[in-house]
Structure 1
Amino acid sequence: MPKQKTHKGTKKRFRLSAGGKAMHRSAGTSHLAARMSQKRKRKLRGTTVTDDAFAGVIRKMLAGNSY
């Protein structure tokens, strides 16, 4: 039987935490930050947990790997 391949788009956007939760970068952080307030930029730092509705799908697309 062939192995399940990792979905490359998902690999670039998500990673799994030690507990198996899918983590992602906040939207709107790549550019055009000069017009944002400092409070808004501060809140967008780091990674956040993805909604539970998508976590199972993301875990399946990553084939159990965390990148």
Structure 2
Amino acid sequence: MPKMKTNSSAKKRFRLTATGKVRMNVAFKRHNLRKRSQKMKRHARGTTIMAETDAKFVRKHFLPNG
């Protein structure tokens, strides 16, 4: 059986932490920021941990090699 390939777009968007959780960027930061509250923009800085239900799917289908 051939090796499983990692999805290239997922490689650029997600990283796995040492404990196996999926780290991702926060959404809704690209444009129309004048509408967003200052609190939302502040909380959306940096990265966040993906919800476990979504993370299971990403790990299984997109990042099989970790």
Give the TM-score of the pair, scaled to structure 1.
Answer: 0.78
- After TM superposition, the structure 1 = structure 2 runs for residues 3-42 of structure 1, keeping only pairs within 5 Å, are 3-42=3-42
Corresponding residue of 2:64: 63
User: Percent same amino acid among aligned pairs?
Assistant: 45
The residue type paired with residue 56 of structure 2 is: G
Q: State how far apart, in whole Å, the 2-side matches of 1:14 and 1:37 are.
A: 26
Number of aligned residue pairs: 65
SS at match of 1:20: coil
Where structure 1 has 5 or more consecutive residues not aligned to the other structure, the ranges are none
What's the offset of the Cα at 1:12? 2.3
Tell me which amino acid in the other structure corresponds to 1:5: K
Q: Where does structure 1 differ by over 3 angstroms across 4 or more consecutive aligned residues?
A: none
For structure 2, the 5+ residue unaligned runs are: none
Q: What's the offset of the Cα at 1:9?
A: 2.4
Shift of 1:21: 0.1
| Cα distance in 1 between the residues matched to 2:64 and 2:4 | 6
